[in-house]
Amino acid sequence: MRKLAALALAVPLLAASPAATSPSYAAPAAAPTAATSAATSAAPSAAAGVKVVEDCVTSVPDPGSSTPVQICYSLFKPAGASRQRPVPMIWHSHGWGGSRTKDPAAFATFLDSRYGVLSFDQRGFGESGGHAYVENPDVEGKDVARLIRLMSRLPWVRQDGPGDPRLGAIGGSYGGGYQFLAAFTSLERRGVPVLDAMAPEITWHDLNESLAPEGVVRTEWALALSAASVPTDALPPRVYKALVEGAATGTWPDGSIPGTEDMPEFFGRNGPAFHVAQGRRLDIPVLLGQGTTDSLFPLQQGLANWRSAITRRARRDSIFVAYNGGHVLPGVLPRGISVTSDPCSERLAGGDFEALSKRFFDEQLKGRRTGLGGYGRLHLATPASMCTTVRSPAPTATLPVGTVTSPTAAGAPLAYEIAPGPLRLAGTPHLTGTVTALGVRNRAFYGLAVGTSPADATLVQNNVLPLDEPSPVVGQPRRIALPSVAVDVPAGQRLYLLVSALSDTFVGMSSRTPGLVTIEDTRAHLPLLSP
């Protein structure tokens, strides 16, 4: 009954979420068919001259099992590819709850330009077997290694050396996670990332911080991700149970209660943050796409990947693009915005993110000069669908805000003026001050807003971040993270700090006792640019 209750709650949330700007993000799919056998078939596709192979590779068993798992894929060979005329490969996978793309028309941009394509079902989804361990190096890491070996043995694929196909990768959300997994796993095991370039979108840096910043669960997304795993029984039962219970209790399960799952431990190795902590950096070109209005893997997750997951040298050959889109839920409390646009890809490549990806791979995989600019920079969309370009997201100015007080447990959002327009911001702000909160499990949610007055102040990009004080504190210095933003504040409007006792993204996560959270000597550290 618990699974059914979660599904009933979460599926409408997924259905209500606008499609991501990027076409490579796959929304949760209906229940797939049973896993196919490893029998291979090849037939002409609807696209002239493209050959399609549907098959599976055998990978390692799930932890605790002795049964090998089949990982299934669709392989697209473009017209004219041969041992004499080998082509680079584009690797693709789907979002959480989705499945691989079987229609070659979806990859026409690449196939028509003589790239091969391989799209695969990740473990636990589509026609692949097993459970999803959410890009664990010891599980899904073996899956991607099997597929790399497959591509390295195709005679019509360009090879840079033994076991080293010329390879780029695309995909959003969970389909971005496998890219970092593949690159870091091969870096760890072979000393080099087998990927030559990659274009991950709306994906994470640190899963624990994404799903539960400061230990406060993003309730709507925990339920939605749990529900999306139900059709294929994708998650291990204990992890499914922990996500649902975390959403219900407001506490990110950490194993401190006997019999409960340790979610920080489960997700501890599943993303770039783990590899960065081990001293690894990717020294390859990366086209990073992130959603400014994304409330699951928000903009600062992508900026963390840009800052720490790739080397300084690699950043010179990389591009960061933020568009209005991603994993988006309606922003009602506090009030947010609803904008879908990609002005930066348009400015850089004359089209959408797929068009930008094509030019990026032409340059990085084929060595073809296309005139593409924007390397080494962050290109961030504003709510007004303008594109702001910066070198760094770091704060450049500190402005006093004074005393900021929020009721806990209940109450309307409050807006505190920071500065009048015109202003231009692009990057990652934060607050400092001394916090006093006398209740138990004190929580408040903070974000930047713009309006003509406190009454009409609206969150810049649909996101807030929590402050969590489990015990009473008096006058304790704190640094409070704010969501990353890009916004122009015109003359006649003002920039505000918005603080709320409630958040619909963190529904049910407010303080457990009524009271106040007060920040004295509050200072806003802002990434201010010239207006």
Which range, of 316-320, 342-346, 441-445, averages the lowest pLDDT? 441-445
Instruction: Check whether 45 has a pLDDT greater than 90.
Output: no
Question: Matching CATH topology for 42-192 and 196-206+271-391?
Answer: yes
The answer to whether residue 496 scores a pLDDT higher than 80 is yes
Average pLDDT over residues 90-95: 98
pLDDT tens per residue, range 128-152: 999 999 999 999 999 999 999 999 9
Cα gap 197→480, rounded to integer Å: 35
Q: Which CATH architecture has domain 397-529?
A: Sandwich (2.60)
The per-residue pLDDT for 511 is: 67
Measured CA to CA, the distance from residue 446 to residue 502 in angstroms comes to 10
Domain boundaries, the chain: 42-192, 196-206+271-391, 397-529
What is the domain class of 42-192 according to CATH?
alpha beta
For the chain, give the percent of residues with pLDDT over 90.
73
* Poorest-pLDDT segment among 55-64, 70-79, 404-413: 404-413
Confidence band, pLDDT 50/70/90 cuts, at residue 47 = low
Query: Band of the pLDDT at 9, cuts 50, 70, 90?
Result: very low
Task: Grade residue 19 by pLDDT with cuts at 50, 70 and 90.
Answer: very low
The pLDDT, as a whole number, for residue 31 is 28
Task: For residue range 296-315, list pLDDT tens digits in order.
Answer: 999 999 999 999 999 999 99
pLDDT at 392 over 60: yes
Q: Is 265 left (phi over 0), alpha (psi -120 to 50) or beta?
A: alpha
What is the Cα–Cα distance from 167 to 151, expressed in whole angstroms? 9
Question: For residue 313, what is the enclosing H or E element?
Answer: helix 312-316
Q: Please state, in angstroms and rounded to a whole number, the distance separating the CA atoms of residues 250 and 502.
A: 13
**pLDDT tens sequence across 263-286:** 999 999 999 999 999 999 999 999
| Homologous superfamily assigned to 196-206+271-391 | Alpha/Beta hydrolase fold, catalytic domain (3.40.50.1820)
Residue 446 near residue 418, CB atoms below 8 Å: no
Tell me the average pLDDT of the chain: 89
Asked which of 38-42, 47-51, 65-69, 503-507 is least confident by mean pLDDT, the reply is 38-42
- Tens digit of each residue's pLDDT (9 = 90 or more) over 146-201: 999 999 999 999 999 999 999 999 999 999 999 999 999 999 999 999 999 999 99
Does the N-terminal peptide bond of residue 477 adopt cis geometry, omega within 30 degrees of 0? no
CB count within 10 Å of CB 222 equals: 24
